[in-house]
Amino acid sequence: MDYAVLVFDKIENPDGFLWNTMIRGFVKTNQPEKAFEFYKRMQEKGEVADNFTFSFLLKFCGQLGSVMLGKQIHCDTMKHGLESHVFVRNTLIHMYGMFKDIETARRLFEEIPSPDLVAWNTILDCHVNCGKCKEALDLFLLMQRSGMEPDEATLVVTLSACSALGALDFGRWVHSCINHTSLGDVVSVCNSLIDMYAKCGAVDDAYNTFNKMKGKNIVSWNTMILGLATHGHTNEALAIFSKMLAEKLVKPNDVTFLGVLCACSHGGMVDDGKRYFSVMTKDYHIQPTIKHYGCMVDIMGRAGFVDEAYQLIRSMPMERNAIVWRTLLAACRVHGNVELGEKVRSHLLELEPDHSSDFVLLANMHASVGQWSEMTRVRKAMQDRRVQKPAPGNSFIGIQGNLRLKMETEDGGKQTRTCTDQVH
């Protein structure tokens, strides 16, 4: 961009296209100050901003998460009479979705007399991004009734909503719709189907979809490996990984090895986990992230090698986070290593001093070895610091059209109620 600025500054009267080109360049290279400086210079020179100018700037505001700046540019679009332009309106919806302001995004969408496919996809993505997945599925049905044909982007975001909700029946219905179109051969759609089935627990359906794919990319392999690993299908996950290496069509990346290590963790395969961790760094030159180290700590901790896991954490080249330490603390609780548990707890106190699960794990650890006075001390410390356990949660399970509601009571017990309402 430095060279682009030098060339641009030599032009006596740059037109709107050139101004937009510079603004877009600063947006792409993540230079917000320069992008808005050029927008200001553009106005001072008397050049009128157009729909491209505002589309670039609004998208950038969303990426920056700057609500105030976004609203200012929104006002400018209104002053220029471009708020209703299809490009600008869709970008406005997208921006407010990135701000998690779903009400404004929905209102802007509903003001469009005849929304195009991009507008539908944008508002669907906004709802999923804001965690309104049930509403996203309702919007998809509304889109279907309006006669608008979905494209691959529509299906990917809809299936991601199904994944988040665990809406297996809805996902299967979407799959049946896909089978009647040419979109069933699109790799991104197939990947989303695999992810949806795996996250909804239908691992066999995920595996069948994976096997039927005509062309697979790295995401396909990673999604299948992670799906199998997450559900404890260790051997199957590692078999898929071996097949991937044998075919040599794609090269494994950091996510691939995350799935492989996850599989080793669920299978209690300590030696294999160490070997794959070494292969990742030495053979494929992939720098381990904190997630990879977390998997290794989990692998060793589950198998009882808590001291070795502790040394691994201490040798990590990056800053340790609370999740890694908490993983080891849970392992110390399982294997009754109170001395190391106290050490790990001291590290957690520096990072998250008032996390309720740390107090509970430590108290239970002392109780498991009969150290009742120490357990009381930890419980009292928790009370003195006024640390509260999270509110009880609810989970819903659909069984043959009926709804079973499993409720966790405040004392840690479980209650189950059956409702006769039809599950959709």
**How far is 348 from 332, CA to CA, in rounded Å?**
14
Q: Which three-class secondary structure string do you get for the chain?
A: CHHHHHHHHCCCCCCHHHHHHHHHHHHHCCCHHHHHHHHHHHHHCCCCCCHHHHHHHHHHHHHHCCHHHHHHHHHHHHHCCCCCCHHHHHHHHHHHHHCCCHHHHHHHHHCCCCCCHHHHHHHHHHHHHCCCHHHHHHHHHHHHHCCCCCCHHHHHHHHHHHHHHCCHHHHHHHHHHHCCCHHHHCHHHHHHHHHHHHHCCCHHHHHHHHHHCCCCCHHHHHHHHHHHHHCCCHHHHHHHHHHHHHHCCCCCCHHHHHHHHHHHHHHCCHHHHHHHHHHHHHCCCCCCCHHHHHHHHHHHHHCCCHHHHHHHHHCCCCCCCHHHHHHHHHHHHHHCCHHHHHHHHHHHHHHCCCCHHHHHHHHHHHHHCCCHHHHHHHHHHHHHCCCCCCCCCEEEEEECCEEEEEEECCCCCEEEEEECCCCC
Of the chain, the percentage scoring pLDDT greater than 70 comes to 83
Q: For 87-114, what is each residue's pLDDT tens digit?
A: 999 999 999 999 999 999 999 999 999 9
Torsion 280-281-287-290 (CA) sign: positive
- Average pLDDT in the 153-177 region? 95
pLDDT at 344: 84
Query: Could you report the per-residue pLDDT of 279-307, keeping only the tens digit for each?
Result: 999 999 999 999 999 999 999 999 999 99
Per residue in 179-207, pLDDT (tens digit) is 888 898 999 999 999 999 999 999 999 99
pLDDT in tens, 337-387: 888 888 888 887 777 666 656 666 767 666 665 666 666 766 666 665 555
Q: What would the mean pLDDT of 5-25 be, rounded to a whole number?
A: 93
Q: Where does residue 331 rank: exposed (0-12), middle (13-18), buried (19+ CB within 10 A)?
A: buried
The percent of residues above 90 in pLDDT, for the chain, comes to: 67
* Cα–Cα distance measured from residue 299 to residue 332, given in angstroms and rounded to the nearest whole number: 13
Structure tokens at 89: 């309106």
| Confidence at 417, pLDDT banded by 50, 70, 90 | very low
What is the band of 326 on the pLDDT scale with cuts at 50, 70, 90? confident
Q: What pLDDT score was predicted for residue 404?
A: 42
Which whole number is the average pLDDT over 2-20?
A: 93
**Is it the case that residue 155 has pLDDT exceeding 90?**
yes
Burial class of 34 by CB neighbour count within 10 A (0 to 12, 13 to 18, 19+) = middle
pTM greater than the 0.75 cutoff: yes
Residue 257 pLDDT: 97
* pLDDT value for 352: 67
What are 44-73's pLDDT values in tens digits?
988 888 999 999 999 999 988 889 999 999
Mean pLDDT of 156-177: 95
Place of tokens 């071996």: 242
Reading phi first (left if > 0) and then psi (alpha if -120 to 50, else beta), residue 81 is in left
Asked if 404 and 397 count as a contact pair (C-beta separation under 8 A), the reply is yes
Measured CA to CA in angstroms, residue 317 lies from 308, 314, 340 at distances of 16, 9, 21
Residue 137: per-residue pLDDT? 96
From 169, 291, 159, select the one nearest 226 (Cα to Cα).
Answer: 291
Looking at residue 400, its pLDDT comes to 42
Say whether pLDDT at 25 is over 80: yes
**pLDDT tens-digit profile of 242-281?**
999 999 889 999 999 999 999 999 999 999 999 999 999 9
pLDDT of residue 71: 95
